[in-house]
Amino acid sequence: MNTITRISILALLTCVAACGDTGGRADGEGTDPSSTSEDPTNATTMSTTMSTTMSTTVDPSETDPSETESETADTTAGEPGFEFEEGDPASYQQIDRMGMPAIATAVITSKDDYNEATPTDDADGVFVPEIVANITGLHDALDDDLMGAGLTPCDVDTCVAQGAPLVVPDVLRVDFATPSGFPNGRLLTDPVIDVTLAVVLLDLSVHGVTTLAGLPLNPSEGDLPPLDDFPFMAAPH
């Protein structure tokens, strides 16, 4: 088995397959990790923490037939409507959260605690020991293969320093004053897993953050392009 294939398999096993992220090729714009080191309280910075709750059962007898007919008509016309919950966030139970891709999957051990935590907990360093331990484990498993492929791994301390601005706190930052593109926001076509792997595995003084995206380890694009309007992803087919 050649070394590139071995890296692909190992990297996918450790991070990619469980994440469900959509890979894609990008021109590298917006992928400078140093651009994420701004104060997370900056007005141009946004954090995303996703919370979900169990839905209540609706009695069919309480359903307004006119609403059902209207929704069916909208769907038939090819213009389905979207309804968004507007309840008090305090009434929800947080069971998951999403910020940077693959962090909970690859470098967090206590996943339930992490999913119930907040970016404030991240900033307080609650999960830093787990992150360091798991990055160490990734290097123990992959450094030989990386070097066999002609790549230069970073030592663990350097890797942690490279990745810390991205994942502590674990939020997705959006700066409207700079071009969109991971890690400034996230486009559907951004190779987010390849970039993240490069930051935590490679010496960025030797390799660029798009090195793994250039191989690529993930599919470079979907079979259909994203849509221009919400929900942006192509229809199932």
CB 106 within 8 A of CB 141: no
Backbone angles phi, psi at 98, to 5 degrees: -135, 125
Q: What is the mean pLDDT of the chain?
A: 75
pTM: 0.61
12 against 206, higher pLDDT: 206
pLDDT in tens, 100-130: 988 999 899 999 999 999 999 999 999 999 9
pLDDT of residue 205: 95
pLDDT of residue 82: 75
pLDDT at 21 over 90: no
pLDDT of residue 19: 43
pLDDT in tens, 180-194: 999 999 988 899 999
pLDDT of residue 141: 96
- 199-219 mean pLDDT: 90
Q: What percent of the chain has pLDDT above 70?
A: 66
pLDDT in tens, 29-76: 444 444 444 443 333 333 333 333 333 344 445 545 444 444 444 444
